[in-house]
Amino acid sequence: MSRVFRSPVGVSAAALLAAVLLLAVFAPVLWADRAATIDTTQILQGQSAQHWAGTDSLGRDIFFRVLVATRLSVQLAIMATAVGVLIGLLLGAAPLLIGARAGRWVTAAVNIAVAFPGLLLALFFAVIFGVGMRGAVLAIGFAVAPSFARLTHTLVSTVADRDYVHAARIAGVGRLRVLARHVLPNVGEPLVVNATVAAGGALLAFAGLSFLGLGVQAPQYDWGRLLGEGLNGIYVHPLAALAPGIAVVVAGLAFSLFGEAAARAIGLRTVLSREPAATSQPEPAQPMSAADVVLAVERLRISFGPVSPVRDVGFTVGRGESVGIVGESGSGKSLTALAIAQLIEEPGRVSADRIEFLGQDLRSAKEHRRLLGLSLAMVFQDPMTSLNPTHRVGRQLAEVAEQHQGLGRAQALARAVDRLRAVHLTEPERRARQYPHELSGGMRQRAMIGMGLMGSPALIIADEPTTALDVTVQAQVLALLQEIRASDGVALMLISHDISVVRQVCDRVLVMYAGRIVEDLRTADLAAARHPYTRALLAAVPDLDTDRGKPLTVIPGRAADPAQLPPGCAFAPRCPLADSACVASDPPLAVDPGGHRVACWHADREVSR
């Protein structure tokens, strides 16, 4: 939430909302008397120094009446929203509460209700519930409910499919408790944000009902009623109608803007921050045949304050090549990928001697957004967090083409469907119209890959693209990536903790440990790996001849903590070959004639067990 306050709109909206709420609390306390003072000598006066917005038919001061009306107006709007949210929550969570089959009927009904304009629904309910405050609160609440139910349904179904919900159900936790404990807290943020936006709408709607005489009744008054009274004399005395009108608009805006600023802050990753001047060192003249190199990285370093989880990383990816990055959790694989895509978030700092993509320097080019948008595709581990749950799949893909390729709406959508077909989604037209949660994990990951293919990528970076998937789907997604690579000459960077996946798919492997590349070799040479860490990784997986009577050999100790790296080789505390040389200084990444790079003082030395 604190990100709301980083944008100017967010700050102004928050200030405005705070002012409205303060007024709602204090205005009646401070000025109720002045607003109620009847002065028959001052009936229907225009604007004056004494009465800034004039007086009404009983000579009461309109300006103060508007201020005092803030409380009732805001209160009623909030109550109506609360009613709507509560009903919406119940309806939206229905499939979870009463089972999938009955829930489907509720969902269908909600979908129909959403199609009606809210104000029409409100009028309809106002007639049913009768004239007056309670009737109006219920009417607007019921009118807000369907869209809220739809949102809740969308959010809840994404969370309800998580394994922790399954685990709770297996453990015998009841449905209501599952909802209250596991589901709602995890969808709370977007719900609160949308409720805020809805409160703005409810405020306007309430003013409408009161204006029509269906809402607040005399002697109580809210902005809608003041507006209605003022309107009688609009030609003589316009300010009497304008003042409450302005109040409604300002307060409505305060709620809506704040809600939307908050939504933006939650929904978007803040992007990009690179070390300024410090990186502008002279570029090493490396005359590689530029045409064959898609990506070249030299001395990449990523820091968070004093800690540098990625240090001195350098590699190149050739056209159509597939390179795997393996390493333990926390070794810096994902950060490396994010840095290439210029997605490192504050307070992270990226510095490098070179990050060149298709011959363009990504460190300096301000135009790289477009280049990256068109030519680089990223696929993340969890497609649910990278697809927006509230937008249809096709729309989200189309947006990419609208932004980066300048296609029209219809054209972009057609391309989206075409791309969904290219990633072998069945019934692409129908899928394009569905929401992310209506697709299976594998389908979502295909959709993400399809999104990457909206442009014509030269490189696909896939960060653990199959880890969150059922193994049954992993193989298919990997096959798809392979196929794209083969048919279009696209280069692939596959990040995985699973050395066997990399072995199947990649030509070359980069092994990372504690933020450095410790070995860079062809997949075919893995059997002849030279770094003790690589060899230990290979040995830690059981094979068909492993002795079942003994525990597996594991790499002793814990993964290195980037905040506390030893001065020498970071692997030394866990390495069976470590000696005083290793502890004293960090081995450089040395190349042998075959292009096989390894960073170890004692590469190739046998481990004596």
Partner 1 sequence: MSELRFEEVSVRYGTRRRGHTVVDGVNLTVASGTVVGLVGESGSGKSTLARAAVGLIPLSGGQILLDGRPLPKRTPLQMVFQDPYSSLDPRMTVGASIAEALPRGAFARNAIAAEVTRLLELVDLAADRAGLYPAALSGGQRQRVALARALAGRPAVLIADEITSALDVSIQGTVLNLVRQVQARMRLTMLFISHDLAVVRYVSDTVAVMQGGHIVECGPADDILSNPQHPYTRQLLAAARSGQR
Ligand X SMILES: Nc1ncnc2c1ncn2[C@@H]1O[C@H](COP(=O)(O)OP(=O)(O)OP(=O)(O)O)[C@@H](O)[C@H]1O
Considering the complex, state which of residue 113 and residue 560 has its C-beta at the smaller distance from partner 1. Answer: 560
Cα→Cα distances 337→264, 313, 332, 363, Å = 24, 11, 9, 15
When asked if residue 382 is in the footprint of partner 1 (CB under 8 A), the reply is yes
Query: How far apart, in whole angstroms, are the C-alpha atoms of residue 292 and residue 289?
Result: 6
Residue range at the interface with partner 1 (CB under 8 A); choices 254-262, 272-280, 312-320, 534-542: 534-542
Residue 330 within binding range of ligand X, rule CB under 6 A: yes
Contacted entry of ligand X, partner 1, Mg ion, none for residue 189, CB cut-off 5 to 8 Å set by kind: none
Contact 53, 239 (CB under 8 A): yes
Strand-pair partners of 512 = 517
Closest C-alpha among 71, 48, 215 to residue 131: 215
Binding flag, residue 548, partner 1 (CB under 8 A): yes
564 belongs to the binding site for partner 1 (CB under 8 A): no
Tell me if 258 sits within 8 A of 265, measured CB to CB. no
Binding site for ligand SF4 (CB under 6 A): 532, 569, 571-572, 575, 577-578, 582, 587, 600-602
Nearest approach, Cβ of residue 414 and ligand X (Å): 36
Helices (H) and strands (E) in the chain, counts: 22, 13
146, 228, 562, 587: which one contacts ligand X (CB under 6 A)? 562
**Shortest gap between Cβ of 497 and Mg ion (angstroms)?**
8
304 binds ligand X (CB under 6 A): yes
Calculate the CA dihedral of residues 261, 265, 269, 272 and round it to 10 degrees.
70
Q: Which does 119 bind (CB under 5 to 8 A by kind): Mg ion, partner 1, ligand SF4, none?
A: none
Q: Rounded to an integer, what distance in angstroms lies between the CA atom of residue 451 and that of residue 157?
A: 23
Question: Per CB under 5 A, does 334 bind Mg ion?
Answer: yes
Helix, strand, or coil (residue 206): helix
Among residues 405, 564, 379, 578, the alpha carbon closest in space to that of 461 is found at: 379
Q: Which lies closer to ligand SF4 via its Cβ, residue 21 or residue 538?
A: 538
Residue list 306-325, contact with ligand X (CB under 6 A): 309
Assess 336 for contact with Mg ion (CB under 5 A). Answer: no
Of 199 and 600, CB closest to ligand SF4: 600
In the complex, the smallest distance separating the C-beta of residue 81 from Mg ion, rounded to whole angstroms, is: 40
- Using CB under 8 A as the binding rule, the residues of this chain from 163 to 192 that contact partner 1 are 163-164, 166-173, 181-182, 185-186
Q: Which residues of 518-548 are buried (b: 16+ CB within 10 A; e: fewer)?
A: bbbbebeebeebbbbbbbbbeeeeeeeeeee
Rounded to a whole number of angstroms, the minimum distance from the CB of residue 540 to ligand SF4 is 16
Adjacent-strand bridge partners of 303: 349
470 binds partner 1 (CB under 8 A): yes
Contact 271, 215 (CB under 8 A): no
Interface ranges with Mg ion (CB under 5 A): 334
Interface ranges with ligand X (CB under 6 A): 304, 309, 327, 329-335, 348, 497, 562
